[in-house]
Amino acid sequence: MTKQDRCYLLEIQHLAVSFENENGRFRVVDDIDLSLESGKILGLVGESGSGKSVTALAIMRLLPKPWARIDTGAIRFDGEDIVQLPVDAVRRLRGDRIAMIFQEPMTALNPVHRVGRQIAEVFVLHGIESDPERIRQRSRQMLSRVGIADPEQCLMSYPHQISGGMRQRVMIAMALCGNPELLIADEPTTALDVTVQAQLLELIRELQQEIGMSVMWITHDLGLVARLCDEVAVMYAGKIVEQAKVQMMFSNPLHPYTQGLLRSVPRLEGEPKSRMYSIEGTVPSFQAIPSGCRFHDRCPKAMPVCSSISPGQTSMEERKVWCHLYG
Ligand SMILES: Nc1ncnc2c1ncn2[C@@H]1O[C@H](COP(=O)(O)OP(=O)(O)OP(=O)(O)O)[C@@H](O)[C@H]1O
Ligand SMILES: [Mg+2]
């Protein structure tokens, strides 16, 4: 399939986001491009602080005010630029067509209302259902689908009365009740134990195939990306360095950072005494971003040009990479 034939639901172009603090203004997401095809799951990976959550919040137009700001770029959703939309249109988009599961479920649930009321609000707010009995029935159905054994009991509970795993399931149920076209999931399973994680991933896959939604899945877990995602984009210090189909990325990563990341994944089938590879050095702070390619001082393949010029995008067979090796 050529690029022209692909149907993108979400296309981010040249997006830059900055934060202001007492030391000045810092670009935490700098000129990134990212695309998500309709009905596909895109994994967004990268070390802590690389800008994954900020990117998600920019798409939702939920960046913390007044410190954060979108400096430049476009976030096209179904052809419309979210950055340019008036606030009321953004609000309609959120929940109706785009839903997000946050990194910390407790902050997204209201502690003073029962779970049942909060789910009902989603149905009412998005004009999906207004009859209280039907809402109750659909809420129970949704909670069973996300694997809650006693939905009735859960609907009656306050958020602090249920476990972290259950809260996360409730959040996922709430995000899915509006049948969103795009689901953004920001590390939704890291706090859960492995079996619960596996169940939830299975569920997301099922629902994704059933209702054809697209998913952006933010995670540190490359194993999870390999199992769940169709494509993967890798972020490093506020930049996307590579985006490709999952199989391509895992079998033949192009960017030296991606190569390092993949080598640092422990392998079950590896030699018993092989040491886990880790990339030397640490992610630069946003207050001291190196010039040129942000990875150059940790890169084993760095060339003189890498320290002075930021690499542009190179597109090749359904993948994109930002690295001078391929320029
Ligand atoms: N509320 C905030 N105020 C100031 N700076 C922030 C804020 N949130 C994020 N940042 C800055 O943006 C950078 C990117 O943060 P972000 O939360 O997007 O990282 P992340 O990739 O989601 O990391 P993690 O994997 O730990 O969730 C941070 O390093 C930080 O410098
Ligand atoms: Mg994050």
Q: Write out the DSSP string of 105-139.
A: HHHHS-TTS-HHHHHHHHHHHTTS---HHHHHHHH
Class of residue 254 by CB neighbours under 10 A (exposed 0-12, middle 13-18, buried 19+): buried
Indicate the helix (H) or strand (E) that contains 155.
helix 151-156
For ligand 1, is residue 250 a contact (CB within 6 Å)?
no
Q: What is the pLDDT of residue 274?
A: 45
3-state helix, strand, coil in the chain (%, to 5): 40, 25, 35
Class of residue 39 by CB neighbours under 10 A (exposed 0-12, middle 13-18, buried 19+): middle
Nearest to 194 by CA among 231, 234, 221: 221
Q: Which two tokens stand for residue 72?
A: 């430049």
| Ligand 1 centroid – CA 128 distance (Å) | 34
Query: Which amino acid belongs to residue 145?
Result: R
Q: Whose CA is nearest to atom 9 of ligand 1?
A: 54
Nearest to 42 by CA among 203, 218, 199: 218
- pLDDT by residue for the chain (327 residues), tens only, comes to 444 557 899 999 999 999 998 889 999 999 999 999 999 999 999 988 899 999 999 999 999 988 999 999 999 999 999 999 999 999 989 878 999 988 766 567 899 999 999 999 988 887 888 999 999 999 999 999 888 999 999 999 999 999 888 888 898 889 888 889 999 999 877 666 777 777 778 878 887 888 888 999 998 888 889 988 999 999 999 999 999 999 999 999 999 999 999 887 665 554 444 454 567 788 888 888 889 999 999 999 999 999 999 999 999 888 999 999 998
Query: Which amino acid belongs to residue 15?
Result: L
Sheet strands side by side (includes 24-37): 24-37, 8-21, 68-77, 80-81
Nearest to 289 by CA among 3, 40, 49, 2: 49
For ligand 1, is residue 75 a contact (CB within 6 Å)?
no
Q: What is the pLDDT of residue 297?
A: 93
For ligand 1, is residue 50 a contact (CB within 6 Å)?
yes
Protein residues placing their CB within 5 Å of the ion ligand 2:
53
- Predicted TM-score (pTM) of the model is 0.90
Q: What is the pLDDT of residue 269?
A: 52
- Smallest-distance ligand from the CA of 49: 1
For ligand 1, is residue 53 a contact (CB within 6 Å)?
yes
Strand partners, 19: 26, 68
| Ligand 1 centroid – CA 29 distance (Å) | 10
Question: How many Cα atoms are found within 13 Å in the side-chain-facing hemisphere of 178?
Answer: 25
DSSP secondary structure code for residue 287 in this structure:
G
| Ligand 2 centroid – CA 153 distance (Å) | 32
| Ligand 1 centroid – CA 295 distance (Å) | 18
As a whole number of angstroms, the distance between CA 93 and CA 5 comes to 26
DSSP secondary structure code for residue 290 in this structure:
P
Nearest to 218 by CA among 53, 36, 31: 53
- Smallest-distance ligand from the CA of 239: 1
Give the torsion through C-alpha atoms of 24, 74, 295, 69, to 10 deg: 20
As a whole number of angstroms, the distance between CA 54 and CA 44 comes to 12
Ligand 1: which of 15, 23, 29, 53 to mutate, most ligand atoms within 8 Å of CB? Answer: 53
Give the torsion through C-alpha atoms of 295, 301, 305, 310, to 10 deg: -30
Query: Which amino acid belongs to residue 193?
Result: D
